A and B are shown apart, each in its own frame.
Chain A
Amino acid sequence: MRIMETIVISQDGQYQQELMSELPTLRQRVYGVDVDRLEISEDLIVHLYHFSLEGGIAGEILDHLQGHLSAMVMIADLEQIRNQENNDLDEIRKTVNNVPAILAIRSEKDVLPYNRDAKASGLLLADNARMFFWDPEDKRSKGIVWNAALNTLQFETVNNLL
């Protein structure tokens, strides 16, 4: 069995519920951390470890995981990005900067000026990081976020390493 471990970070956990609402996951708790188990196939499982910036992220857990991580998803809205304190994102990224990362920005439909291509393939933040926009009412936009995190960037990163 192969397991892809993914950390999912949000400000306070609220947006995680919305972004994951369509994922057929089974929630567990590991090391005091909420973990959602997503079965892709009998042979391929995804673990989604949830962290909130408000609750703080234990550096030890992050360090433990970072060696095994397949992807990292950070969920926020633009206001939270602008107002983030203590450069939380910066610190986290320093720790796990080799992991394909998605910044998933929650937005209302058509509020932000992005076009269809940006919607489908995201905006490039770095060679292994992209930003996507998702609308809580749009299932496909949410699916695109997860597919990029688990599939697109992971596959591209792997192909780059091979």
Chain B
Amino acid sequence: MYDILVYATNPESVTEIKELFPAPVHQVCVVDENDDWPVDVPETLFDFALAWEAPVQEVSKFLEKQQAVGLGFVPVVALTRDSSEADQLFALPLADVITLPTPRALFMRTIETLVHGRKRSEEDRRGMNWQGSLSEFNLIDLIQMVDAGRRSVEARLSQEGLNGRLVFGEGVLCDAQFRALSGSAALKKMVFWSRGSFQIRELGDEAVTNEIKLQNQEILLQLFEVLAKQDQLSRDLPDFTTQLLRNPLMEPGELTGLQSKILGQCQQAITIFELLQVLDDDGEDILLELKIMLEMNLIGDRVEVEAAIREAAETSNFSKVISSISSIFKRKPRESVVEYQFYESLPEESLLPLQFPARELSEDDRRLIEGKLLGGSQ
């Protein structure tokens, strides 16, 4: 399978290229305008590029653009029908120039030699000392690759300030370190790293002690299980890049030890990924507790929590009034008994006799009152 970057301005050429390298086996990315490349082009690791029947000047621009976006390491093959243009193309830093028409088999052999010969030469140059991106080779890939090489190496992994170390003895993973964690616990944290870089260094004659004491296949099975479990748990959780924040409007009550640690970390906004890395506890346990705490609203999406805090602040004065008023209405014992004073005479305007009110309301009374007050006031 090849990832191919194609510069072609003729739609018929594009059709032919896609027939030569059909999807989904091969991934073909076509640019037809040097001034406007798709945004995801620089993020793709292409095996090679084709400049298909493009004028020399445009091929030159293509090469410049390729360098500018960081893809200068991708070999470019230019194809042309014009033999005089072929001579000019050879002056450019191209991997090869092919004059059309050419037999398909010869063309494919050229490509194959170009791609595989490049990889072999890279390995010969550096042996097992090499570095790369975790986005291309993650922990599982590295274990398998070192296992295949049967070498004793040290691998240093890093991602956004996180640093881990692996030690292989003759291809067998013997030790792993991440902060204070070692062995399987460290591996279970590093297996989720996908954005950083790694460096591999041969250890030569350095002695390697096997601390993990498991075959690589057993380790890989454990890691696959960890990945599968997290994938399952993550379905009920926000995206791992979502920032979480403690909700100060909720009283936590009794918390487990891990919940307390999570709540402590969430005092400042923190992503789920960061939480999984900063806590030494098992990732599965962390995710399970996270799910509970999200349901209890003890923590939440930072944006939503901040909005709730703002809303509460706007109503805080109201709440204070409620509290003070409520205290007024709580039953309090009479501090003193006031003597009843009789009025010796009633003022002239007194027209309504006072009677002791009946404190018993029947259902009929209730309906009458309700009807009078609500029925007529709607």
Q: A89: which B residues are within 8 A, CB to CB?
A: 325, 328
A24 to chain B: closest CB distance in Å? 8
Taking a contact as CB atoms closer than 8 A, the residue among A30, A143, A158 that contacts B352 in the complex is A30
- Complex CA distance for A44 and B376, rounded to whole angstroms: 17
Asked whether, in the complex, the Cβ of A2 is within 8 Å of the Cβ of B357, the reply is yes
- Give the chain A neighbours of B370 by CB distance below 8 A: 147, 151
Chain B residue with Cβ nearest A71 = B357
Q: Which of B331, B349, B372 interacts with A40 by CB under 8 Å?
A: B372
Does any Cβ of A come within 8 Å of B104's Cβ?
A: no
Determine whether A129 belongs to the interface, using a CB cutoff of 8 Å to chain B.
yes
- In this complex, the interface size class of chain A, counting residues with CB under 8 Å from chain B, is 35 or more
Closest to B336 in A: A94
B116 close to chain A: CB less than 8 A:
no
Residue-wise, chain B 333-374 has the 8 Å CB interface mask toward A (1 for contact) of 011001011010011011110111111110001101110111
Residues A63 and B338 in contact, CB atoms below 8 Å apart: yes
Whether A82 lies near B331 (C-beta < 8 A) is no
Nearest chain A CB to B371's CB is how many angstroms away?
9
Closest to A123 in B: B322
Interface pair A113/B318, CB less than 8 Å apart: yes
CA of A144 to CA of B375 in the docked complex: distance in angstroms? 10
| Contacts A3-B355, A144-B374; A151 near B369 (Cβ below 8 A) | yes
CB distance from B334 to the nearest CB of A (A): 7
Take A3-B354, A68-B357 as given contacts and tell me if A147 and B374 are in contact as well, using a CB distance cutoff of 8 Å. yes
Smallest CB gap from B350: residue in A: A30
Cβ of B329 and Cβ of A30 under 8 Å apart? no
Complex Cα distance, B374 from A31, in Å, reads: 30
- A68-85 interface bits toward B, Cβ cutoff 8 Å, 1 = contact, 0 = none: 111000000010011000
CB distance from B357 to the nearest CB of A (A): 5
Shortest Cβ distance from residue A110 to the other chain B in the assembled complex, whole angstroms: 13
Chain B binding surface SS class? loop
Q: For the complex, is B326 an interface residue (Cβ under 8 Å from A)?
A: yes
Residues 1-49 of A contacting B (Cβ, < 8 Å)? 1-5, 22-24, 28-32, 35, 37-38, 40-41, 44, 47
In angstroms, Cα B331 to Cα A5, docked, is 20
Which residues of A have CB within 8 Å of B25? none
Q: Say whether A3 contacts B357, CB under 8 Å.
A: yes
Contact across chains for B352 and A28 when beta carbons are under 8 A apart: yes
User: Which 3 residue pairs across A and B have the least CB separation, nearest first?
Assistant: A143-B377, A129-B329, A2-B358
Name 25 interchain pairs, CB-CB below 8 A, sorted by A: A3-B357, A4-B358, A22-B376, A29-B349, A31-B343, A32-B347, A40-B372, A64-B340, A82-B317, A89-B325, A90-B328, A94-B332, A97-B332, A113-B318, A129-B329, A139-B378, A143-B378, A144-B374, A146-B373, A147-B374, A151-B366, A154-B359, A154-B361, A155-B361, A158-B361
11 new A-B contacts at CB < 8 Å, known A2-B357, A97-B329, A125-B325 = A1-B355, A63-B340, A64-B340, A70-B359, A82-B321, A103-B329, A126-B331, A142-B377, A147-B370, A151-B370, A158-B359
Binding site for B on A (CB under 8 A): 1-5, 22-24, 28-32, 35, 37-38, 40-41, 44, 47, 59-60, 63-64, 68-70, 78, 81-82, 89-90, 93-95, 97-98, 101, 103, 112-113, 123-129, 131, 139-140, 142-144, 146-147, 150-151, 154-155, 157-158, 161-162
Identify the B interface with A (CB < 8 A). Answer: 311, 315, 317-318, 321-322, 325-326, 328-332, 334-335, 338, 340-341, 343, 346-347, 349-352, 354-361, 365-366, 368-370, 372-374, 376-378
